């Protein structure tokens, strides 16, 4: 019935598609339904239909921080479409739709001589995903630049604006993480005036540093674990001799031990086995329970 109602409302959806096509790890089994609302009106209809049928859903951004299990998922996947990819500039503030790639937002800011987003250079997420995860690097994070966020409140079926404070940002997290009660629609960032060439140079420097230190040559999802207080997860994993360890097609990167790479044909179960191995070794050696940064679907 859900599909009939979506069809009736001319809302685009795909069926039985492997989510490996939608994740940076290139791993993941099928979703029975992937819905692509193109604007706020369609999003409202989609959520009404799914809520009426008590159908759980998961909003996927660029899938650059998500591990989808091999057996796929029972949630309906929501991928925000065209109407969520606009960028508007007002003086030193930019409002970007949730599906805008961070790279496009940073490039636009640089073009308009607005600084504050250079740190995102090389983070392959969308604006929505970056907000949820409080994406950060080089000592900066979304918390420092977000002024407000428009969300769709699933329970009340209404759009609201949340202030920076209401988002309760913390290290790689926000109040909206693991909270399917809200969908990010757009994000407004407050930036500062800066020299365009200087911003671009900073972005290039960050990108080059990443290319040197991180395994961009293989599909991955960035850091698998959060850094424990005062230490780095990569250093700990390397210190217990796990760098380079493989299971199936997955490998703890030889370049950066907090990255697990897909060397070809990796399954989610291979990645999960490596994750368990790391967790056990770090606990046995250091009595530290590493916390996962990635989200498992």
Ligand X SMILES: Cc1cc2nc3c(=O)[nH]c(=O)nc-3n(C[C@H](O)[C@H](O)[C@H](O)COP(=O)(O)OP(=O)(O)OC[C@H]3O[C@@H](n4cnc5c(N)ncnc54)[C@H](O)[C@@H]3O)c2cc1C
Instruction: Give how far the C-alpha of residue 200 lies from the chain's centroid of Cα atoms, to the nearest Å.
Output: 23
Buried residues in 19-28 as b, exposed as e (16+ CB within 10 A)? bbebbbbbbb
Which residue among 121, 186, 223, 253 is the active-site one?
Answer: 223
Nearer to ligand X, 23 or 281 (CB): 23
- Are the C-beta atoms of 227 and 233 separated by less than 8 Å? yes
- Residue 236 and residue 228 in contact, taking contact as beta carbons nearer than 8 Å: yes
E-strand ranges in 106-175 read 114-115, 136-137, 140-141, 146-153, 158-163
- Sites for ligand X among residues 247-276 (CB under 6 A): none
- Contacts of residue 21, defined as CB under 8 A and 6 or more positions apart, other chains included, come to none
**In the complex, minimum distance from the CB of residue 29 to ligand X, in angstroms, rounded to a whole number:** 16
- Provide the 3-class DSSP secondary structure of residue 8: helix
* Cα 233 to Cα 258: distance, rounded to the nearest angstrom: 6
Nearer to ligand X, 198 or 296 (CB): 296
CA atoms of 208 and 203, how far apart (whole Å): 9
Has 172 been annotated as catalytic?
A: yes
Binding of residue 123 to ligand X (CB under 6 A): yes
Part of the chain binding ligand X (CB under 6 A), chosen from 53-61, 86-94, 157-165, 186-194: 53-61
Please pick, from the candidates 77, 98, 224, 266, the single residue that binds ligand X as defined by CB under 6 A. Answer: 98
Structure tokens at 13: 């959806």
Looking at residues 5 to 24 of the shown chain, list those that interact with ligand X (rule: CB under 6 A): 24
Q: Is 291 a catalytic residue?
A: no
Given 72, 81, 124, 234, the residue binding ligand X (CB under 6 A): 124
Neighbours of 4 (CB within 10 A): 9
Give the shortest CB-289-to-ligand X separation in angstroms: 21
Selecting among 20, 121, 148, 172, the annotated active-site residue is 172
Q: Nearer Cβ to ligand X, position 80 or 203?
A: 80
Q: How many residues bind ligand X (CB under 6 A)?
A: 32
- For residues 38 and 113, which CB has a smaller minimum distance to ligand X in the complex? 38
Q: Which helix (H) or strand (E) holds 15?
A: strand 13-18
Among positions 145-174, residues that touch ligand X (CB under 6 A) are 172
Spell out, one character per residue from 173 to 192, where the chain touches ligand X: x when CB under 6 A holds, - when not. ----------xx--------
Residue with tokens 């591990």: 67
Q: Which of residues 61-90 bind ligand X (CB under 6 A)?
A: 61-66, 80
3-state secondary structure of 215: coil
- Is there binding between residue 126 and ligand X (CB under 6 A)? yes
When computed from its CA atoms, the radius of gyration of the chain, rounded to whole angstroms, is 19
Among 31, 105, 118, 133, binds ligand X (CB under 6 A): 133
Whether 293 is catalytic is yes
Contacts of 275 (CB under 8 A, 6+ apart): 224, 260, 292
Least distance in angstroms from the C-beta of 260 to ligand X:
11
**Toward ligand X, which CB reaches closer, 19 or 199?**
19
Q: What are the catalytic residues?
A: 172, 223, 293
The site for ligand X (CB under 6 A) is made up of 24, 58-66, 80, 98, 123-126, 128-130, 132-133, 135-137, 172, 183-184, 214, 220-222, 295
């Amino acid at each position: 019935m859900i599909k009939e109602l979506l069809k009736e409302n001319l809302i685009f959806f795909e069926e039985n598609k492997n989510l490996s096509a939608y994740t940076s790890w290139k791993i993941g089994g099928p979703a029975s339904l992937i819905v692509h609302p193109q604007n706020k009106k369609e999003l409202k209809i989609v959520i009404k239909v799914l809520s009426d049928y008590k159908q759980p859903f998961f909003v996927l951004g660029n899938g650059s921080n998500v591990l989808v299990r091999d057996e796929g998922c029972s949630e309906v996947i929501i991928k925000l479409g065209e109407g969520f990819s606009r960028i508007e500039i007002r003086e030193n503030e930019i409002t970007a739709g949730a599906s805008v790639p961070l790279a496009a937002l940073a490039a636009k800011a640089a073009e308009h001589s607005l600084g504050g987003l250079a740190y995102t250079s090389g983070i392959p997420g969308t604006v929505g995903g970056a907000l949820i995860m409080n994406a950060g690097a080089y000592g900066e994070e979304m918390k420092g630049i977000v002024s407000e966020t428009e969300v769709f409140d699933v329970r009340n079926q209404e759009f609201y604006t949340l202030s920076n404070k209401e988002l309760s940002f913390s290290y790689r997290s926000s109040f909206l993480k693991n909270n399917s009660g809200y969908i990010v629609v757009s994000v407004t960032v407050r930036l500062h005036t800066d020299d365009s060439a200087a911003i671009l140079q900073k972005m290039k420097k960050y990108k080059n540093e990443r290319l040197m230190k991180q395994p961009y040559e293989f599909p991955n999802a960035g850091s698998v674990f959060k850094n424990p207080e005062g230490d780095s997860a990569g250093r700990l994993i390397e210190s217990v001799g796990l760098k380079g360890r493989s299971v199936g097609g997955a490998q703890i990167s030889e370049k950066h031990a907090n990255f697990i790479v897909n060397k070809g044909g990796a399954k989610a179960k291979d990645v999960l086995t490596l994750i368990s191995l790391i967790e056990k070794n770090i606990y046995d050696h250091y009595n530290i329970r590493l916390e996962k940064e990635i989200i498992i679907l």
